[in-house]
Chain A
Amino acid sequence: MKKYIALFRIRFINGLQYRAAALAGLTTQFAWGFMEILSFSAFYRANPAAFPMEFSHLVSYVWIQQAFLALFMPWGVGGNAVETIVSGNISYDLARPMDIYNRWFFETIADRVSRATLRCAPILILASILPLPFRMKLPSDLFQFSMFLISVPIAMFAVTAYCLIDYMSAFYTMSRYNAIFVIVADFFAGGYIPIPFFPEPVRKIAELLPFAAMQNMPLRIYSGDIAGMDAVYGIGLQLFWVTVMIAFGKLLMRRSLKRIVTQGG
């Protein structure tokens, strides 16, 4: 375990040094969140009855999403796993007494946490002092808040386990970007619009997919859209999908390593 913590530490320190990137990300995410809320508010004013979430729930959903974007986004993190595959540097990683899957998992988590650490606070502070309809609220009670706190890491593990499957596809394709992998996950995890806004039959299916175990769950628990026992069931679903995706990922890793080829020295 110590070695994974050491890896996490060096990666975390490495991530903290990119201050300019953090500032740029911060501005983008704040502007993005604000525009998203404004456009949703236009829909809400047109017909509040056709709006599937309470407006205040939606506002919290968007702000938490933007503040913790780095924890949940299915793109742009842990990219050097793919690079080691494509460049062949994976030779060195394989010459270490370390499980490659676990290693990438920890590295990706470290990337996510270090980025979120730099970015979340200013967005959270700004979002909680905005004028009212746009202001982020605290969860309704302590239960809801603790459910949120449990759900966050599981959602992060879920999206990371999914990303790792995506990285491993590079063993077969030698390609760096698999846009379809990212877009499907982002869409069905409620990254563009929250799942309650999906049309009925699609929504029912989407609620059960592995993507529902990603940002969808903690964001809706925080905002109060999923409350009480539903939150407990939701976390159960998350645990189920995380287990399935990690098991599948480890299996895929074992198969991939058997047929791995490294060329050119």
Chain B
Amino acid sequence: MSCLVEIKNLSFSYQDGRTALQELDLSICEGEKVGIVGSNGAGKSTLLLQLNGVLQGTGDVRIAGDQVCRQNLGRIRSLVGLVFQDPDDQLFSPTVFEDVAFGPLYMGLDESAVSLRVREALESVGMDGMEERVPNRMSLGEKKLVAIATVLAMRPRILALDEPTAALDARARRTILGVLKHLDETLVVATHDLSLVAEVLDRTIVMDRGEVVADGPTAEILRDEAFLAEHGLI
């Protein structure tokens, strides 16, 4: 397996001086299913935003060998699909079709290819036939599924999801888990939901105060309850 994500010595501080990431070293290989867990403020979401250059810290972040920098942002963003926690942030267009078509259109694809990608992406999350729906009138679970489709339509190699099951009821959560299990892309999921991690993701990275404090097979990490409690996870 080749390394798709390579992060070396990455640090990042917000403008208010709050340090979010500290000298992070990390690599993720093609096809891996990785969970990033940690308490609130651990740096999980900040790390996801570094993967496609929305935030850029000091250090070296490479996606499929390309450095994440201003010159490469277009290519990087076609490789890394980011799904945000609140689907209302992600779904900004008047209809589902337009939202799912947004990424492929900006990639410069011709219209028949865009339409095909929209159809396939919606089918893969079980939301086919919803093209003309208005996001305002959809349930949270439906919005989360369409949000995933918006990045699947770009056929990224890495799918980075921020809290995909937050605030969902049991049925909607089960649907999301079913969708995630069947995705072939490399998955990076920032979450508090340890049962999601146990069920879907093979590798777990534990973060605390901007640092990686553990990185290994999910089963091994989740077995150590004292360690999880120490880092505010249970």
A and B: partners? no
Where the two chains meet, the residues of B that have a C-beta atom closer than 8 Å to any C-beta of A are none
